[in-house]
Amino acid sequence: MTTLYFLWLFLIPLFQILSGYHIFLVSSQCLDDQKSLLLQLKGSLRYDSTLSNKLAKWNQKTSESCNWDGVTCDLSGHVIALELDDETISSGIENASALFSLQYLERLNLAYNRFSVGIPVGIGNLTNLKYLNLSNAGFVGQIPMMLSRLTKLVTLDLSPLFPYSNQRLKLENPNLRHFIENSTELRELYLDGVDLSSLRTEWCPIDESLSKLQILSIIRLDQNNLSTTVPGYFANFTNLTTLSLDSCNLQGAFPKKIFQVQFLEILDLSNNKLLSGSIPSFPRNGSLRMISLSNTNFSGSLPESISNLQSLSSGTVPLDLIGRLSNLTRLELSYNNLTVDASSINSTSFIFPQLRLLKLASCRLQKFPDLKRRIPESICNASYLQVLDFSNNALSGTIPPCLLENSTNLGVLNLGNNKLNGVIPDSFPIGCALQTLDLSENKLQGRLPKSLVNCELLEVLNVGNNKLVDRFPCMLRNSNSLRVLFLRSNQFNGSVQCDATRNNWKNLQIIDIASNNFTGVLNAEFFSNWKGMMVADDNVETGRNHIQYKFLQLS
């Protein structure tokens, strides 16, 4: 045992020494020439040494240049990545022949510098490059033909910071088509703000240029007067995740099929006033996170299948903008990590005369959109409204009575999980059409309103987790429709029994009265009334079936 332990202790350091020695031996030969190239490069570049975080620290005396900030080497000591972004470099790149001799470079990032010259031709000599980032580097003028020799490029980012500047990069000669004709590996192409305007002179320009690059996953060509139609073949780019064509003077009809590309996450077509189209149905499990169609000529309705997009997110939605869509009948923005800003709403802008369905669950709402009764126009005026889901927000204050008063069309009202207080208004009208009423997880007080009996179609009543103080709601015992009754976690008290009538609660299937202050006994007769729970199988004759999760999701 002792021997083994000793051996073990001995083996570890030996192994460490050997392996360290090994790396040192192999790399030392190459290091010297790579190090001297890096030092030459440093010498030829002009930069502000007080602001530089990397270059300024490269030091002749530090032996291991592979550890310098911004430098990455392979195991043999060849420099394979150089990240000199944001280093205040202003000049000297044209003659930085040392840079163009770093033949093993696979990754070069010169983004966010202050060059104001053309892209140096020598970069075309770095034929192993897979990643070239010259974004916001200050380079201007024609992109040199030599760059098209970089046929291993996977990512090319040439986007400038100020796309409208007069001094920007151009792809004129070569044009985009020539430039990328051999770039078969290209997946991410950021040319937003690069002047591609020579394309205009050709027939169907983007078409010829990109059609072969089906492997592309990111295409950004924003801020270019392309004056063309959008080619349908983008729909064949099966790996496409981003298509950004903001402000491109696009025309004609946008090919619907592009909406259906399976992995497409970002589609930005904004500011193309002549681009027309309509939104088709979306595939189930579509990936779209952002669709921007502002300032385009799109028309038509939002398809129901927009709810298939489970990852849509587009930031903050000012509700007053939506409010101007006077023909809108359905709006569902729930569970998208959206913030719906209702604060800008005013009485004249929030008119949804046609609205039938409004789902803003989990949208960080903080107040009911314009519901003050100073004002006649309000959400209560959306008199065709059938589904209103404001659940999982931060709504505070009281429930506006008018919301219930005019609920002769409203079938689903879900205000669950908010911060509502006060009493539930006793204003359910005769002819109340509510089928699902969910007011759970608020701070509601007082009693269940008597007028709830007017809601003869009510199937689901959930007032759980509030501060209600009331007796058991015997007034609902004759309902033919009630199937789900949640009273959990309130201060309901007294007996759970109602006057003995044979048909009490006959369709009730789920009841939850836990965590209240009920007293008394539960006798056998009480349970025998609950016929709805005894249905053995789905009953075709009565059309009644077991309550399923889907049913509860009505809201």
Interface residues toward ligand NAG, by CB under 6 A: 85, 91-92, 94-95, 97, 100, 109, 111-112, 122, 125, 133, 135, 148, 155, 157, 178, 181-182, 188, 190, 200, 214-215, 225, 227, 232-233, 236, 238-239, 249, 326-327, 337, 346, 348-349, 381, 383, 402, 405-406, 491, 493, 517, 519
Q: Measured between alpha carbons, how far is 82 from 109 in angstroms, rounded to an integer?
A: 6
Nearer to ligand NAG, 182 or 503 (CB): 182
How far is residue 383 from each of residues 116, 201, 388, 404, 530, measured CA to CA in Å? 61, 54, 12, 11, 36
Burial class (CB in 10 A: 0-12, 13-18, 19+), 35: buried
Q: Least distance from C-beta 421 to ligand NAG, angstroms?
A: 19
Q: Least distance from C-beta 97 to ligand NAG, angstroms?
A: 5
Neighbour tally for 326: CB within 10 Å: 10
Q: Least distance from C-beta 35 to ligand NAG, angstroms?
A: 19
Nearer to ligand NAG, 97 or 307 (CB): 97
Nearer to ligand NAG, 381 or 504 (CB): 381
Q: Least distance from C-beta 536 to ligand NAG, angstroms?
A: 38
Closest CA to 211 of 166, 177, 246, 242: 177
Q: Least distance from C-beta 179 to ligand NAG, angstroms?
A: 7
DSSP state of 539: B
Nearer to ligand NAG, 480 or 519 (CB): 519
Check if the beta carbon of residue 213 is closer than 8 Å to that of residue 188: no
Q: Least distance from C-beta 444 to ligand NAG, angstroms?
A: 16
Nearer to ligand NAG, 34 or 507 (CB): 34
* Token pair for 487: 């009273």
Number of H helices, E strands in the chain: 8, 31
* Token pair for 393: 């927000």
Nearer to ligand NAG, 22 or 178 (CB): 178
Q: Least distance from C-beta 535 to ligand NAG, angstroms?
A: 35
Nearer to ligand NAG, 97 or 421 (CB): 97
String of DSSP letters for 480-536: SS--EEE--SS--EEES--S--TTTTTT--EEE--SSEEES---HHHHHT-GGGG--
Q: Least distance from C-beta 251 to ligand NAG, angstroms?
A: 10
Q: Least distance from C-beta 458 to ligand NAG, angstroms?
A: 19
Check if the beta carbon of residue 188 is closer than 8 Å to that of residue 217: yes
Q: Least distance from C-beta 63 to ligand NAG, angstroms?
A: 27
Q: Least distance from C-beta 160 to ligand NAG, angstroms?
A: 12
Nearer to ligand NAG, 223 or 417 (CB): 223
Nearer to ligand NAG, 364 or 544 (CB): 364
DSSP state of 231: P
Q: Least distance from C-beta 8 to ligand NAG, angstroms?
A: 44
Check if the beta carbon of residue 117 is closer than 8 Å to that of residue 93: yes
The residue to which tokens 């589904």 are assigned: 387
Nearer to ligand NAG, 402 or 533 (CB): 402
How far is residue 82 from each of residues 14, 133, 148, 519, measured CA to CA in Å? 34, 11, 20, 76
Which phi and psi (to 5°) does residue 218 adopt? -130, 125
* Token pair for 204: 């169907």
Pinpoint the alpha helices (H) of 153-283.
Answer: 176-179, 205-210
Nearer to ligand NAG, 160 or 459 (CB): 160
Nearer to ligand NAG, 325 or 474 (CB): 325
Pinpoint the alpha helices (H) of 274-335.
Answer: 319-323
Nearer to ligand NAG, 351 or 511 (CB): 351
How far is residue 472 from each of residues 478, 501, 524, measured CA to CA in Å? 14, 15, 18
Residue nearest to ligand NAG (CB): 122
Nearer to ligand NAG, 366 or 383 (CB): 383
Q: Measured between alpha carbons, how far is 419 from 366 in angstroms, rounded to an integer?
A: 9
Q: Measured between alpha carbons, how far is 164 from 91 in angstroms, rounded to an integer?
A: 23
Q: Measured between alpha carbons, how far is 531 from 13 in angstroms, rounded to an integer?
A: 78
Torsion of CA 33, 37, 39, 45, to 10 degrees: 180
C-alpha dihedral sign at 163, 164, 166, 171:
positive
Q: Least distance from C-beta 299 to ligand NAG, angstroms?
A: 8
Which residues, in sequence order, are CB contacts of 169 under 8 Å at separation 6+? 119, 139, 140, 141, 142, 143, 158, 160, 193, 194, 195
Q: Least distance from C-beta 510 to ligand NAG, angstroms?
A: 25
Closest CA to 368 of 422, 330, 436: 422
